Structure 1
Amino acid sequence: MIVSAAQCRAARALLGWSQDRLAEASKVAKATIAAFEQGKRTPYDRTLVDLRNALEEAGAVFLSDGDLIEGGQGVRLRAL
């Protein structure tokens, strides 16, 4: 799993990041992030990896299906 649009939005919300901040941290164009989060396009895998890496470096932890007893994909903040 790389990162879904919903996880990207949720991770940004948990971190208090704007799309501009994610674009700066990931070196991905804001327009690409906006289109992805709106479900208008799916970026290349390498772009999704860049987004995920930037969010993880800031403290997001991505959960895949089965990481919890109940529930699917998700995101949480890393424990301090």
Structure 2
Amino acid sequence: MGSRFTTWETTFAAQNGQANSQQGCEMNFMQCKLARVSLGWGVRELALAANVSTQTISRLEAGGQLRPSTVDGIRKVLEDAGIEFIAESDDGGVGIRLKARSSGT
């Protein structure tokens, strides 16, 4: 049969790189885990911050299908914590980076 796409893959493929978040990139399961670990958060901390269950975070990070609104909420929490999501480009694949801290604060 056909390949099985998760919600984030379907959304990302359908938009073909078009911006849907403030950072211009959808979040995939690998980026979620990279972001969480970069912040030093465990599954429990991210679940609490995003107001979802730990099972939801684990399912997302395993590539499972979630409602787009749930993924958007998790992504927003990570962005608000200082993560910037990087879309795939000719120069490389998807990734994350920490936002630059504003100087003078």
Name the TM-score, length of structure 2 as normaliser: 0.69
Aligned pairs for 1:1-80 (under 5 A) are 1-39=25-63, 41-66=64-89, 70-80=91-101
Which has the larger share of helix?
A: 1
User: Matched residues, percent identical?
Assistant: 36
Q: CA RMSD in A?
A: 1.1
Which of the pair has more CA radius of gyration?
Answer: 2
| Cα distance in 2 between the residues matched to 1:28 and 1:4 | 17
* Unpaired stretches in structure 1, ≥5 consecutive residues: none
Runs of 5+ in structure 2 lacking a partner? 1-24
Secondary structure at the aligned position of 2:84 is classed as: strand
Displacement of 1:70 in angstroms is 1.6
CA contact (8 A) 1:28 1:50 kept: no
Superposition deviation, residue 2 in structure 1 = 2.7
Aligned residues between the structures: 77
Runs (4+) of structure 1 exceeding 3 A deviation are none
TM-score normalised by structure 1 residue count: 0.89
